[in-house]
Amino acid sequence: QLQASGGGSVQAGGSLRLSCAASGRTFTRNIMAWFRQAPGKEREFVALAWPLGRTFYGESVKGRFTISRDTTQNMVYLRMSSLEPEDTAVYYCAADSTVAGGRSDYYYARAGIYDYWGQGTQVTVSS
């Protein structure tokens, strides 16, 4: 139901834009997010977007990454700039099945609450 794309290999300092297309249902009232997982590490929160556009970022990407969503097209994007080798990971988009609200950004930064996951797209940043 979620299909991520846009990954690739770039040099440090470069940029990429990831896309995530939802199908089968709409997520206009739901939180959508990006996570990433590097080899040998736990899945890490990257960014999330509320239905009306408010965003929240993980500390390691704040100021460099931008999440956006197009609810009319059932899409969520992640614009990544000033990429660093430490950003190398498989990136996953995710969506929560419950209607957004009543919880803090930190609650929605937990991978365990998301019901829908994309298949992941590899991002490799070389120095």
Summarize pLDDT for 58-95 with one digit per residue, the tens. 999 999 999 999 988 789 999 999 999 999 999 999 99
Q: Which residues pair with 117 in a beta bridge?
A: 94
Q: What does the alpha-carbon distance between residue 38 and residue 41 come to, in Å, rounded to a whole number?
A: 5
Q: What does the alpha-carbon distance between residue 114 and residue 8 come to, in Å, rounded to a whole number?
A: 25
Q: Which amino acid is at 73?
A: Q
Q: What does the alpha-carbon distance between residue 8 and residue 125 come to, in Å, rounded to a whole number?
A: 8
Is 30 a residue whose pLDDT tops 90? Answer: yes
Is 48 a residue whose pLDDT tops 90? Answer: yes
Helix (H, G, I), strand (E, B) or coil at 111: helix
